């Protein structure tokens, strides 16, 4: 069974390295949980960001969460707010409860921020453009 997981991780990594956003997100999860691959928050952040930059909402959510908690990266409420705002925008419309949960977390982060920080975060989210995979 462990060999099957290792083989799956190998293929997920291969797809992630080729720019597949869902694979990048899944590799980020593996790195963040330390299952099958070593626990590595910086590596998780790297893969989440690659997926998030392509508009993958769950990766955007996880980036926002990591920035809000300072999990493996410096605490940054502006980036947390930006990524959570984008996640809410790109979240699957059929998952209203999930989207509302993202919005609730973003709004909670806003209570910890100054007005200027919120304005900056909103600007960053508004100016963001997804990138195409390589």
Q: What is the pTM of this model?
A: 0.93
In this model, does residue 118 exceed pLDDT 70? yes
Residue 16: which of 52, 63, 69 has the closest Cα? 52
In this model, does residue 1 exceed pLDDT 60? no
Residue 2 confidence (pLDDT):
59
Q: What is the mean pLDDT of the chain?
A: 95
Report the phi/psi class of residue 19: left, alpha or beta, with left for phi > 0 and alpha for psi in -120 to 50. Answer: left
Distance CA 111, CA 87 (A): 18
Catalogue all structural domains in the chain, each as residue range(s) with its CATH number.
2-127 (1.25.40.10)
Residue 39 confidence (pLDDT):
95
Residue 132 confidence (pLDDT):
85
Distance CA 21, CA 51 (A): 4
Residue 133 confidence (pLDDT):
76
In this model, does residue 42 exceed pLDDT 70? yes
């Amino acid at each position: 069974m462990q060999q099957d997981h290792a083989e799956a991780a190998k293929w997920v990594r291969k797809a992630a390295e080729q720019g597949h956003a869902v694979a990048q997100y899944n590799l980020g999860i593996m790195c963040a949980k330390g299952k099958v691959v070593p626990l590595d928050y910086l590596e998780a952040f790297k893969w989440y960001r690659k997926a998030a930059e392509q508009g993958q909402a769950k990766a955007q959510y996880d980036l926002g969460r990591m920035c809000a908690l300072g999990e493996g990266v410096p605490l940054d409420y502006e980036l947390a707010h930006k990524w959570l705002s984008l996640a809410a925008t790109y979240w699957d419309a059929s998952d209203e409860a999930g989207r509302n949960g993202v919005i609730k977390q973003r709004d909670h982060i806003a209570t910890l921020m100054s007005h200027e920080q919120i304005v900056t975060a909103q600007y960053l989210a508004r100016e963001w453009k997804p990138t195409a995979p390589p």
